[in-house]
């Protein structure tokens, strides 16, 4: 019976482990939740199992809370090291942010003078209007 070499790096790796090693998601359990809820696609196909195997050359699409990320896997991860080491595991293919897409904060804020007037602005407008409430009968 032949044994497989234990020192050779794995050519395939679990998706949740790789996301954790690449520092794209903070913990393995958060990576598993993101995968199970359908926020990760491998080569264009949604994946819902955290045990899915990925290899070098695969393209991952992640829909994270604040942004969407597209990366190409370059290497399998060995450990969760510093950012400089984790950055070597992937190539960032994320398209530049367009000005059309607004974050929730940007949608909630408004330009001064746009939208509903403030109480102060309403009082100023009332002072300019003629008093229509009083009639001389």
Residue 56 makes CB contacts below 8 A (sequence gap 6+) with 11, 73, 74, 75, 76
pTM, two decimals, is 0.65
Among 5, 21, 33, 3, which residue's Cα sits nearest to residue 81? 21
What mean pLDDT comes out for the span 128-137?
Answer: 66
- At 58-85, the pLDDT tens digits run 999 999 887 899 999 999 999 999 999 9
Query: ∠ at Cα 51 (86, 61), nearest 5°?
Result: 55
Instruction: Answer yes or no: are the C-beta atoms of 60 and 35 closer than 8 Å.
Output: no
Q: In this predicted model, what pLDDT tens digit does every residue of 4-22 receive, in sequence order?
A: 444 445 589 999 999 999 9
How far is 21 from 82, CA to CA, in rounded Å? Answer: 9
Give residues with Cβ within 8 angstroms of 75, minimum separation 6: 56, 88, 89
């Amino acid at each position: 019976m032949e044994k497989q070499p234990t020192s050779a790096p794995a050519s395939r790796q679990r998706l949740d482990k790789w996301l954790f090693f690449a520092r794209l998601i903070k913990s393995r359990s958060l990576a598993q939740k993101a995968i199970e809820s359908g926020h990760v696609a491998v080569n264009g196909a949604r994946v819902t199992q955290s045990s899915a195997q990925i290899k070098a050359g695969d393209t991952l699409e992640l829909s994270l809370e604040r942004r969407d990320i597209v990366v190409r896997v370059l290497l399998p991860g060995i450990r969760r090291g510093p950012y400089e080491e984790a950055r070597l595991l992937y190539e960032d293919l994320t398209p530049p942010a367009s000005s059309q897409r607004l974050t929730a904060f940007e949608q909630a804020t408004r330009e001064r003078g746009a939208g509903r007037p403030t109480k102060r602005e309403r009082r100023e407008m009332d002072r300019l209007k003629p008093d229509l409430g009083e009639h001389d009968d």
